[in-house]
Amino acid sequence: MVNTTIKTTKSQEIFAAAQNLMPGGVSSPVRAFKSVGGQPIVFDRVKGAYIWDVDGNQYIDYVGTWGPAICGHAHPEVIAALHEALEKGTSFGAPSVLENVLAEMVIDAVPSIEMVRFVNSGTEACMGVLRLMRAFTKRDKIIKFEGCYHGHADTFLVKAGSGVATLGLPDSPGVPKAATSTTLTAPFNDLESVKALFEENRDEIAGVILEPVVGNAGFIAPDAGFLEGLRELTHEHGALLVFDEVMTGFRIAYGGAQEKFGVTPDLTTLGKVIGGGLPVGAYGGRRDIMSMVAPAGPVYQAGTLSGNPLAMTAGIKTLELLQKPGTYDYLERITKKLANGLLQIAKETGHPACGGQISAMFGLFFTSGPVNNYEDAKKSDTAKFGRFHRGMLEHGVYLAPSQFEAGFTSFAHTEEDIEQTLAVARDVMSSL
Ligand code: KE4
């Protein structure tokens, strides 16, 4: 193990106090470093590709506040736009033209979206889309995939990924059986299992929801034909196809994974990037389906801060920045260099590893692989990942604190940052 130890006195003091005030000392479980061990660092400020903790240590950041910071943290143009918006107030609870602007940008960008509803988180977006798909089809059952995470609403907490996987919580206490009795699960990339579920539950399945590129079981790409196969199966069985693009939206491509892979779902959920770091989520899709959402239709969903001017402003500016020519080519290039570099270094230092990247999303598993689904991902050496994470952290590189998360780059990351990260990874992997 590399022997550099960074000073984390203040982080430790603040986190110790936090644990007395908030469950686990955090506002979201994965931040507690449970699966990688050691003390979480307490952030003081972020800028571009970098973080500074309360002890003054600087890190290259590959979490990007779990995806929103694709333009880099605290982008000057986003901050400036927010300052201007702040002068006009923080929340209206009433229509604002900003919602029109962001809605038009989302509709123009995302192939499946003809109409959109803004909410305040990805969880809310997935809750809204769940109720809508059930109302539209008049069916109750859904199919989700093992290891995929769609927020913490009861129905989805079945073999979920992200923090649920990290904490080894296959299901959560407090979720009544009734809430998950209509949730069917299948292995990702396994079309035959989905076909079987449709046969066994004929005319009862409202839809299939998935992360088109999985980020919550670690990084798992769809096999060729998998997304197309789901599109055909849902059409065949009168069910809806829902892409949860909370993580992949505007990251895998400007139009999300559905643009990248050329498969158009009926409904899509979004979050993270479209809020530029402020609380936001959205669900959208075919006009005939979205027209069922209250008050246009009978499907109720509401939110005090939905469409608030600050989140809309940050989202608008972020998407404007992403429209700059060459953005996604750059993200693809630097992320491919990082992912391929990490795999090459693992090989040279004798660690079985697999992984990959698509655009600005990447992952590394400490298992020879291949990793095509959650069961494969669980074969990873998570203890080794924990040592790797700690070693990288002590050398100024901040990775997602779980094997069951994806990594994120931004267009603030430079070639030098990637080179530096790979140099550190070589040191750390050489002494894992
Ligand atoms: P939020 O409610 O956290 O905004 O979004 C839920 C959600 C829905 N769908 C997908 C595909 C997601 O990735 C997420 C949230 N992602 C996690 C990270 N894997 C958020 C980080 C956390 O839970 O602290």
**pLDDT number for residue 165:** 67
Q: How far is the CA of 112 from the centre of ligand 1 (A)?
A: 21
Distances (CA, A) of 120 to 207, 247, 277: 23, 15, 11
Distances (CA, A) of 145 to 41, 261, 318, 330: 32, 19, 30, 31
**pLDDT number for residue 6:** 86
Q: Which residues line ligand 1 (CB under 6 A)?
A: 28, 30, 66, 121-123, 126, 149-151, 162-163, 211, 215-216, 244, 246-247, 271, 281, 405
CATH classification number, 105-303, choose in 3.40.50.2300, 3.40.640.10, 3.40.47.10, 3.40.605.10? 3.40.640.10
| Rounded (10°) CA dihedral 361, 364, 365, 369 | 90
**pLDDT number for residue 168:** 47
Structure pTM? 0.97
Nearest-atom index, ligand 1, CA of 272:
4
The alpha-helical segments, DSSP class H, found in 237-368 are 256-261, 287-290, 309-322, 327-348
Distance CA 31, CA 275 (A): 20
Mutate-to-test residue for ligand 1 from 22, 27, 129, 149, highest number of ligand atoms within 8 A of CB = 149
Rg of the chain taking only CA atoms, in angstroms:
21
What residue type is 297 in one-letter code?
G
Nearest-atom index, ligand 1, CA of 29:
24
Polymer length in residues for the chain? 432
What residue type is 101 in one-letter code?
V
**pLDDT number for residue 179:** 87
CB–CB of 303/120 below 8 Å?
Answer: yes
Q: How far is the CA of 66 from the centre of ligand 1 (A)?
A: 8
According to DSSP, the β-strands at 354-358 and 43-47 are unpaired
Low-confidence ranges of the chain (pLDDT < 50): 1-3, 168-170
CB–CB of 390/36 below 8 Å?
Answer: yes
Q: Spell out the domain ranges in the chain.
A: 105-303
Q: Which has the closest alpha carbon to 127: 102, 148, 154, 101? A: 154
Q: How far is the CA of 122 from the centre of ligand 1 (A)?
A: 6
Q: Whose C-alpha lies nearest to ligand 1, atom 13?
A: 247
CB–CB of 363/406 below 8 Å?
Answer: yes
Buried b (16+ CB within 10 A) or exposed e, 398-408: bbbbbbbbbbb
